[in-house]
Amino acid sequence: MTTESVASATDPIVRKWTYVAAGAGLIPIPMADLAAIVAVQLKLVADLSAHYGVPFYRNQGKAALGALTGGIASRQLAPLLGSALKAIPVVGQFGGVAASTLSAGAATYAVGRVFDLHFSNGGTLLDFDAAKVKSVFTREYEKGKQVVKPA
């Protein structure tokens, strides 16, 4: 099963939290934006697990999310750098907001698609293997950039 075949039923859930995460990238306080983005991604995973009737436990959700996003270091550097840029008055704040917004939205979209695929195939938080979905995350991250990019 591909992400496209399951995406239609859960698209409103994934897009809602993608846009919320992109909005969290607008938070002007360095590192506060990252905390908000992680919370949004955790809520996205919780909503997808509810959609599929998969038990959700916050600690297992954090562990699975951390394994996925922590294992994709280059993707996680963009929000971190965007957040750090916000500490530079004026110029850094504008650049940081732009970088954080795009990367937060794209990463959240990818997280949603990965967990959507995993849950639709009968997976749970206990059997989530981040290494197996690395290529899916990377592909969906690129699609996510198009979803949050202004028209």
Select the more confidently predicted residue: 120 or 88: 120
Phi, psi of 90 (to 5 degrees): 60, -80
In the predicted structure, residue 76 carries a pLDDT above the cut 80: no
Task: Provide the pLDDT confidence category of residue 99 given band limits of 50, 70 and 90.
Answer: low
Which residue from 86, 146, 137, 91 is spatially nearest to 116, judged by alpha carbons? 137
Q: What is the mean pLDDT of residues 76-90?
A: 52
Residue 30 in 3-state DSSP?
coil
Percent of the chain with pLDDT over 70: 75
Say how many Å lie between the first and final Cα of the chain, rounded. 30
Q: What is the mean pLDDT of residues 121-125?
A: 96
Q: What is the mean pLDDT of the chain?
A: 83
5-62 confidence digits (pLDDT tens): 556 889 999 999 999 999 998 887 777 888 899 999 999 999 999 999 999 999 999 9
Percent of the chain with pLDDT over 90: 56
DSSP structure class, residue 1: -
Q: Give the chain's domain count.
A: 1
DSSP string, 36-47: HHHHHHHHHHHH
Which structural domain range is residue 83 located in? 3-148
Q: Measuring CA to CA, how many Å separate 108 from each of 47, 89, 91, 100?
A: 13, 27, 26, 12
pTM: 0.81
pLDDT for the residue 139: 94
Phi, psi of 77 (to 5 degrees): -70, -30
DSSP structure class, residue 133: G
Which residue from 86, 108, 110, 89 is spatially nearest to 98, judged by alpha carbons? 86
